[in-house]
Amino acid sequence: MTPESNLSTIAYIGLGGNLENTLELLGSARKAIEAVPGVRELAFSSLYRSAPMGPVDQPDFVNAVMAVETSLAPRDLLKALQMIELSHGRVRTDQRWGPRTLDLDLLMFGLEQISDQWLTIPHAGIAGREFVLYPLAEIAPPHLAIPGMGILSDLVSACPRRGLEAIGHD
C-alpha cells in the first residue's frame, strides 16, 4: 500500500473485541495501526466495557476509538485494518455481532461519504452505538459533523449509555 498523495485526512477507527486477552490485543492493534505507512496516531480514547450487541451468550466487549492522520485512500486504510484483524486472530463467520478477537471499523474518513459493497463511511452504526459515540466524543471535537447523521455532541446527548463503563486508558 502506498500513500495516494501528500494530502492527509483525519480518520476515526473503532477498535473492539471480546475474546482472548482483549486488552493486550487492543494495545497490539493500536501499535500495528500506527505502524502502517501513511498513518499517524493523533489520539486514543479510554477503553470502555459494554454488553454485547448481538447474542448475549458471549463475554462483554471492550472498545475504544483512535484518531489518525493518513495519506492513504479509504479503501487502502480499510485493507490495512483487515490485515491487522487477521494477524490478531480474527476469524470472520456468518454470525453477525458474534464474539471476536479483534474488530477494527473505519468509522469516519474526513467528511467523505462512501457506500459500496466494501465500505460504508461514515460507518452505518455510529449514531446509535454508545460504545462508539462516547469514546469518539472523548477524542474528537464536540462540533464534529458526522456526514448524513448530525453533530457529534447532539448524537451523544441522544444516546443513552446502556451500561457502558469506562475502564481506563490503554
Given the residues 30, 49, 76, 103, select the one marked as catalytic. Answer: 103
Which of 140, 19, 134, 2 has its CA nearest to residue 71? 2
The CA angle 87-140-89, to the nearest 5 degrees, is: 10
Residue 105 annotated in active site: yes
CB 139 within 8 A of CB 45: yes
Which of 136, 112, 139, 117 has its CA nearest to residue 125? 136
Environment class of residue 107 by beta-carbon count within 10 Å: exposed (0-12), middle (13-18) or buried (19+)?
A: buried
Residue 161 annotated in active site: no
Residue 94 annotated in active site: no
Which of 66, 23, 13, 16 has its CA nearest to residue 41? 66
Name beta bridge partners: 66: 13, 44
Cell numbers describing residue 6: 501528500
**Alpha carbons 11 and 58: distance in angstroms, whole number:** 30
Given the residues 40, 100, 116, 161, select the one marked as catalytic. Answer: 100
Given the residues 30, 76, 105, 129, select the one marked as catalytic. Answer: 105
Given the residues 30, 49, 90, 129, select the one marked as catalytic. Answer: 90
Catalytic positions, written as ranges: 90, 100, 103, 105
